[in-house]
Amino acid sequence: MNMISKKIKVVLGLALMMVLVFALVGCGKNEGSKEINLMSWGGDFIPREVIDQFTEETGIKVNYKEVTSNEDTQSLLEANPDQYDLAVVTDYMVEILRLNGMLEVLDKDKLSNFSNINPVYQGNYYDANNEYAMPYAVSTAFLLVNPEGVEALGANPITSYADLWQEELKDNIVVIDWSVEIMGLVLKSLGYNYNETDPVKVAEAKEKLFQLSDNIMRFETNTPEDSLVNGEAVVGFMYSNQAVNGNAQDDKLVPVFPTEGMPIYIDAFVMSKDAPNKDNAYKFLNFLLQPEIAAQIADITDFITPNKAAEEYLTEDFKNNPMLNVSDDVMANTSFYIDVAAVLEEYEHIYSEFKMQ
Amino acid sequence: MVDMKKFKQNAPAIPILVWFGILVGIPLIFVVILSFLSRDELGNIVVRFTLDNYKRIFDPIYIKVFINSLFLATLTSFITMIIGYPVAYFTANLEKKKKALAILLIMLPFWISSLLRTYGWIILLGNTGLVNNLLIGFNIIDKPLSMMYKFSTILTGTAYMLIPFMIIAIYNSVDKLDRSLLEASYDLGAGKWKTFFKITLPLTIPGIAGGFTLVFIPSLGLFFISDLLGGGKNIFLGNLINSLITKGRNKPLAAAFSVGMIIMVLIVLFIYSRLVKRNTGGADENSII
């Protein structure tokens, strides 16, 4: 009995401590403080050394919260808009947050370096008036191919999405695991646009998608390049930073920019409407917009920099990499996934059916 | 007066009950309420009553997902039972010091993150993994065996992750077994096997039932195992709910699936406890319901 009540005391004590911790976390709001609260992807998306350099120069502490998805960022930001200053989200999430009224219009007067950003990456669909977002990293998705492996299987060389349907590629393709991406790939292979809503075209794409089933050996969003590096697959449809990583591990793996075109994504900084440290946040953004810093970030993260002025500071390796220094004609053939909301439910359903067939 | 005494005795449990009520009860009520709400195109929850989410669960594809999950959970429970029973049986019969060591070894994997242990399986089973490298190194095979991204890989991973629960549950009931009953059985001329099937097994059914519930329920929700080891080719309830909440932007539907999953678990446990009760005459003290 004594033992038990002792245990209960310990449990109660712990419970009390947790309540106290929650209470303390709740009152982390202080005016005129020397800090900013930042939320972004994990895995060094905003390099530590860059953050450290900012803190050293300005004395402003950066609290960096790492999240695993745009949707996590959305949940956190909408639950506590007054606890975050800045977040990095992908284009479509900028649009959602903007329409939900979560974002602050960026005061360009406080961002003297904003003009460094390439006009091409400004004023896109998610922020047509160029008010809410500061483009930070640009990426694409395309095919990473092991040509020797493709040849060994007896398949024809791969230049387009359409080539993925070759019977010889059975169990040899790894793809990003999201309905919109995979439907997009199929639609492009048929010569249609992303996020097609025409029922006839969607039905056609669905039928074609089902024929791809046998060739896909793995659906993987986080590290698809691994399957090519270890020889499990000979073709992968993946994001550009992953392809760069795969190619760096094994230079037999080469990028193929499909003739039908490819998707492009812009990850951008947005500011919470109720940001507690707005002035510090502007300082941080302006710091990141400096050409040398932007070039350093691009180099570390393997993302294309939207910072035009940074181009002269990029390393030779970066400039010579066709996946990072994308040629104009390849870039001209890219498009965004616009208006995902209109197709999401149907595509998700088709995708589930596809996986469960 | 008597009631007061009882109350005093139970009083220390009240904070814990309140704690559970807050952390389990309230979120659960939220989930149930959410499952009757709608959402707009951007995924925001709209407070408008609907039964649509529940109608959609009965879509043939989603029924398939339910069956798929049920199949995985049942198979996992049986496999862990078949492997776990002998382990538990021999562990319980060890001498005291060795027993403590064996239990420690069984619990040891819990000290490491389950996600890391799942990655461990990839290192073992991958094309350039340990097993394939060894087999190729000893010239037993010349091309790597493909062992990843199959239903059997998911099953292996799930069974591996949950088997300690089964072993410990069975161990507890074997350990409590009254040895004199076994001696009586031998004295009356029954052999080893006969004694096992007529005495030991029926008396340890409550342990098996406990283990079954402890394995069955979590195996429905270990979505990262099927994502990592199954290559995302199979959809189970856990994965479906996860993807509906994130990429699918449909929290109300995800909530309806969660409620469906809870109901499914309750039905299975109910049937199971009935079966156990019939077999043991109501002595299923380890069972959850």
Rounded to 10°, the helix A179-189/A199-212 angle is 100
Task: Give B280's contacts (C-beta < 8 A, 6+ positions apart).
Answer: B202, B205, B206
How is residue A220 written in tokens? Answer: 């993987």
Report residue A44's pLDDT band, with 50, 70 and 90 as the boundaries: confident
SS3 B133: helix
Report residue A3 CA to chain centroid gap: 53
Mean pLDDT of A64-68: 92
* Whole-number Å distance between alpha carbons of B143 and A199: 45
What pLDDT, on the 0 to 100 scale, is given for residue A292? 96
Mutate: best of A179, A230, A339, A347, partner B, most B CBs <10 A: A230
Instruction: Name the nearest CA neighbour of A344 among A197, A128, A171, A149.
Output: A197
Cα end-to-end distance, chain A, whole Å: 58
C-alpha to C-alpha distance for B229 and B146, rounded to whole angstroms: 12
Decide if pLDDT at B190 tops 50: yes
Q: Determine the number of helices (DSSP H) and then strands (DSSP E) in chain A.
A: 14, 10
Contact (Cβ atoms closer than 8 angstroms) between residue A134 and residue A289:
yes
- Assess A353–B contact: CB distance below 8 Å, yes or no: yes
Option in B127, B232, B244 nearest A220 (CB): B232
pLDDT tier at B178, thresholds 50, 70, 90:
confident
Interatomic CA distance for residues A176 and B106, integer angstroms: 37
* Residue B284's pLDDT band (cuts 50, 70, 90): very low
| pLDDT one-digit tens code per residue, B88-142 | 999 999 999 999 999 999 999 888 999 999 999 999 998 888 999 999 999 988 8
Task: Say what the pLDDT of residue A354 is.
Answer: 96
Domains of chain A: 34-132+265-326 (3.40.190.10), 140-261+334-356 (3.40.190.10)
Q: Establish if B30 touches chain A: CB-CB under 8 angstroms.
A: no
- Compute how many other C-beta atoms are within 10 angstroms of the C-beta atom of residue B134: 11
- A86 has which bridge partners? A38, A271
Q: For residue A30, what pLDDT band results from cuts at 50, 70 and 90? A: very low
Contact A86, A270 (CB under 8 A): yes
Cβ separation A352–B65 shorter than 8 A: yes
Banded pLDDT at A23 (limits 50, 70, 90):
low
Is B256 or A28 the better-scoring residue by pLDDT? B256
Residues from chain A that touch B233, judged by Cβ atoms under 8 A, are 216, 218-219, 355
Q: Which of A127-136, B87-96, B200-209 has the lowest mean pLDDT?
A: B200-209
Q: Is 60 exceeded by the pLDDT of residue B232?
A: yes
The alpha-carbon radius of gyration of chain A (Å, integer) is 23
A352/B43 touch (CB, cutoff 8 Å), yes or no: no
pLDDT digits (tens, 9 = 90+) for B142-165: 888 888 999 999 999 999 999 999
Write the pLDDT tens digit of every residue in A199-218: 999 999 999 999 999 999 99
Quote the CATH superfamily of domain B59-280. Answer: MetI-like (1.10.3720.10)
The pLDDT tens digits for A157-213 are 999 999 999 999 999 999 999 999 999 999 999 999 999 999 999 999 999 999 999
Residue B287 pLDDT class (50, 70, 90 cuts): very low
Contact B12 A216 (CB under 8 A): no
CB contact under 8 A, A348 and B247: yes
| pLDDT given at position A32 | 60
Segment B34-46 mean pLDDT: 92
Q: Which of A86-95, A255-264, A266-275, B134-143 has the lowest mean pLDDT?
A: B134-143
By the CB < 8 Å criterion, does A17 face chain B? no
